[in-house]
């Protein structure tokens, strides 16, 4: 019997989705990220396949496609939840600034570590390798912070989404410098960004105005196909394509803001809001499925033995230590003393893996151990898990203390003339 037959693949895929759903339930109870459980499942499947056959297929093409689609769905899912109100402006700008400063400083320190500890590593390559290791994983953070209070939850959604977008832009800016013919410099990069924003706004208005008039019941996947097409075309044109997805999500989630004044007469709000509601549901479902298979396939492709290298452990530990030291300083400056559990919510994940495999051949360093990538992903996820468990226990303890304190009551008595004279 062929182990990778069509029916076996269907059975395995179905079981993986069922297990992923159960992992989500376990994650909510224990605060252990479901992503870690999916990676462990993938590693287990790797050894299971190895016991049946030596001819294990190359899963990387699937990993790359799933990563791109997963990234689009995760950013869209996050954008659909962002409300643009006056009272949200400061938290959004503050989160973006924290994400930007954290990304730049973390990448700089990680690049110094890689440059000094890895032979043959040039400073240019070190920056390119350090960038994926400095990007927060919204794929892990967004599902993990659901139990936090609203202000902290929103901060993590904003910060991780901006970290993804800014990190990807920074990565492709750095890789573009490898080819002088394609390197447009900072001015060209800024112009590219402005063009992307203009195209994104125009495309978002057109999509909403056109799709609100479509009466077919199958238009949501058509809408997703259009977004994927725009993302792919944007990449071919060297635009910051993820911004297209983010801006579309913001526009459709805040239609009353973007369709104000004279243009409001072209918007059928009830029809458009119905599209938004259904898109929110299908995006969350699609992100769940894509995220599930991405991390399982990632587990199938990793070399576990690389974790047991002393050099890998030292370099990875230094990078992880730098991540939290830098984050502590930044959060204390911008958020004040209340930075638990935000300080430790800094996992690396989908974007880190995706960009690592996108490093151009001319920047590749043979002496770089991929185990560093895995070590940092697992290490930061475990630290986040411990912090979330601690925060949950602390909150439960405070609730119990509050409930145990009985509030006394006294019967009110009208004052007498004697009392008033005293």
pLDDT, tens digit (0-9, with 9 covering 90-100), for 308-363: 889 999 999 999 999 999 999 999 999 999 898 899 999 998 889 888 888 888 88
Contact 65, 419 (CB under 8 A): no
Phi–psi pair at 346, nearest 5 degrees? -145, 50
Of 99, 36, 126, 103, give the one whose Cα is nearest residue 322. 103
Q: How far is CA 118 from CA 3, 177, 369, in A?
A: 40, 22, 9
- The Cα–Cα gap between 316 and 38 comes to 22
Least trusted range by pLDDT, from 41-45, 214-218, 380-384:
214-218
Percentage of the chain surpassing pLDDT 70? 91
Identify the pLDDT of residue 194.
87
Q: How far is CA 8 from CA 1, 5, 16, 145, 307, in A?
A: 10, 5, 12, 35, 31
Q: Is the dihedral of CA 305, 307, 308, 310 positive or negative?
A: positive
Contact 84, 250 (CB under 8 A): yes
Percentage of the chain surpassing pLDDT 90? 27
Of 309, 286, 290, give the one whose Cα is nearest residue 298. 290
Which tokens hold the place of 328?
């502590």
Identify the pLDDT of residue 221.
85
Mean pLDDT of the chain: 85
Helix orientation angle between 86-117 and 123-133, rounded to the nearest 10 degrees: 130
Phi–psi pair at 213, nearest 5 degrees? -95, -10
Identify the pLDDT of residue 185.
66
Phi–psi pair at 416, nearest 5 degrees? -95, 170
- The Cα–Cα gap between 418 and 208 comes to 75
Contacts of 75 (CB under 8 A, 6+ apart): 138, 161, 164, 165, 242, 245, 246, 249
Residue with tokens 């402005």, as numbered in its chain: 194
Identify the pLDDT of residue 236.
83
Contact 95, 63 (CB under 8 A): no
Of 391, 382, 360, 390, give the one whose Cα is nearest residue 316. 382
Mean pLDDT of 5-14: 87
CA dihedral 174→179→185→188, nearest 10 degrees, is -100
pLDDT of 47 > 70? The answer is yes
Mean pLDDT of 124-143: 91
Q: How far is CA 386 from CA 43, 147, 159, 228, in A?
A: 22, 15, 20, 36
Identify the pLDDT of residue 239.
75
- Radius of gyration of the chain from Cα atoms? 25
Contact 296, 44 (CB under 8 A): no
- The Cα–Cα gap between 105 and 333 comes to 14
Mean pLDDT of 86-99: 88
pLDDT tens by residue, 220-232: 888 889 999 998 8
Mean pLDDT of 243-272: 87
Higher pLDDT, 185 or 43: 43
Q: Which of 27-36, 228-237, 299-308, 371-380 has the highest mean pLDDT?
A: 371-380
Higher pLDDT, 188 or 335: 335
Tell me the pLDDT band of 107, cut-offs 50, 70 and 90.
very high
Which tokens hold the place of 406?
């009985």
Residue with tokens 């990069």, as numbered in its chain: 189
Identify the pLDDT of residue 201.
92
DSSP 326-346: HHHHHHHHHH-S--TTGGG--
Higher pLDDT, 306 or 416: 306
Element (H, E) at 136: none
- The Cα–Cα gap between 223 and 201 comes to 16
Of 392, 374, 395, 372, give the one whose Cα is nearest residue 384. 392
Domains along the sequence of the chain with CATH: 6-304+312-361+368-396 (1.20.1530.20)
Tell me the pLDDT band of 182, cut-offs 50, 70 and 90.
low
């Amino acid at each position: 019997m062929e182990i990778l037959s069509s029916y076996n693949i269907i059975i395995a895929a179905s079981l993986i989705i069922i297990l992923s759903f159960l992992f989500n339930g376990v994650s909510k109870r224990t605060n252990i990220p479901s992503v870690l459980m999916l990676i462990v499942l993938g590693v287990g499947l790797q050894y299971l396949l190895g016991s049946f056959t030596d001819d294990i297929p190359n899963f990387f093409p699937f990993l790359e496609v799933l990563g791109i689609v997963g990234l689009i769905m995760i950013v869209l899912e996050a954008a659909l939840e962002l409300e643009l109100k006056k009272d949200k402006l400061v938290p959004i700008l503050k989160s973006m600034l924290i994400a930007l400063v954290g990304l730049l400083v973390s990448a700089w320190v990680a690049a110094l570590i890689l440059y000094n500890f890895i032979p043959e590593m040039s400073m240019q390559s070190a920056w390119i390798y350090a960038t994926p290791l400095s990007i927060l994983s919204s794929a892990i953070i967004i599902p993990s912070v659901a139990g936090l209070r609203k202000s902290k939850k929103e901060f993590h959604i904003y910060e991780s989404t901006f970290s993804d977008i800014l990190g990807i832009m920074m990565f492709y800016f750095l890789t573009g410098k490898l080819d002088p013919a394609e390197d447009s410099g900072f001015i060209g990069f800024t112009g590219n960004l402005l063009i992307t924003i203009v195209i994104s706004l125009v495309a978002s208005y057109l999509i909403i105005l056109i799709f609100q008039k479509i009466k077919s019941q199958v238009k949501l996947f058509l809408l997703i196909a259009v977004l994927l097409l725009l993302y792919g075309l944007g990449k071919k044109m060297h635009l910051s394509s993820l911004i297209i997805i983010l801006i579309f999500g913001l526009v459709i989630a805040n239609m009353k803001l973007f369709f104000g004044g004279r243009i409001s007469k072209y918007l059928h709000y009830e029809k458009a809001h119905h599209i938004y509601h259904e898109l929110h549901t299908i995006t969350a479902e699609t992100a769940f499925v894509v995220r599930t298979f991405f991390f399982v396939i990632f587990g199938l492709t990793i070399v576990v033995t690389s974790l047991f290298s002393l050099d890998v452990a030292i370099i990875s530990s230094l990078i992880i230590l730098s991540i939290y030291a830098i984050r502590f300083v930044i959060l204390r400056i911008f958020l004040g003393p209340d930075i638990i559990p935000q300080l430790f919510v800094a996992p690396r994940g989908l974007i880190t893996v995706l960009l690592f495999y996108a490093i151009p051949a001319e920047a590749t360093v043979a002496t770089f151990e991929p185990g560093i990538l895995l070590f940092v992903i697992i290490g930061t996820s475990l630290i986040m898990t411990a912090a979330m468990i601690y925060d949950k226990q602390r909150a439960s303890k405070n609730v119990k203390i509050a409930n145990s304190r009985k509030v006394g009551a006294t019967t009110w008595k009208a004052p007498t003339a004697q009392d008033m004279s005293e």
